[in-house]
Amino acid sequence: MTTIERRLVLATALGLPLALPFRQAAAAIDAARASTFIQSTGNELVGAINSNAPVARRRESVAGILRRAVDIEGVGRFILGRFWRTATPAEQQEYTKLFEETLIHNLASRFGEYQGVKFTLGRSQANTEEDVMVSTSVERPNTAAFTLDWRVAEVGGGPRIIDMIAEGTSLRLTQRSEYASVIQRNGGQVSALLAAMRQQIAQMRANER
């Protein structure tokens, strides 16, 4: 298992989203609006996770929720960081496609396997002028409650998840560092990261057969 995959397991062990990076929000968001958004999203996720539908159907439901809730475009660009500017237009296009598939597939696959999850909303407070931190508590059977903090901002006219803090660690920054490391080890070539992502997707698909 790679370092990236280990981080993913940590972030999704309790059935909640991984590192979601921040990008400039269009406008400030009210704490109450952010809290309501996370409450609604959390209830949707828990409902899909705890349903009696087949695992494949639960994964599809979770994937749909995540696509609506997460600022996927902002996630991808932030994680690629300065290498977005050095990538060719074709590489940018492929990266965006691969990133969305990787993120959603990983999260939906893991979420869809969990049941008995409980989600409790905590306090919400402004994090910066443009985003709000919403705390949540998550429980699984025979597991102590675990606190996860979500950063929410207005993106494209609606609230979106832009980061998650697990055990005091901003997973968006960790993911960005890991992607940068892959590129730097390969002479600064974004194509090397794309190759690794294609391989990861192929492996994920093979594991589901």
Q: Is 149 helix (H, G, I), strand (E, B) or coil?
A: strand
Q: What is the mean pLDDT of residues 101-116?
A: 76
Q: Give me 103's structure tokens.
A: 């993120």
Q: What is the mean pLDDT of residues 162-169?
A: 81
For the chain, domains (ranges, CATH) are 3-180+187-203 (3.10.450.710)
Q: In this structure, which amino acid lies at residue 23?
A: R
Q: In this structure, which amino acid lies at residue 209?
A: R
DSSP state of 180: H
- What digits encode the pLDDT tens for the residues 45-64? 999 989 988 888 888 898 99
Average pLDDT score over the chain: 84
pTM tops 0.85, yes or no: no
- d(Cα 35, Cα 42) in Å, to the nearest integer? 10
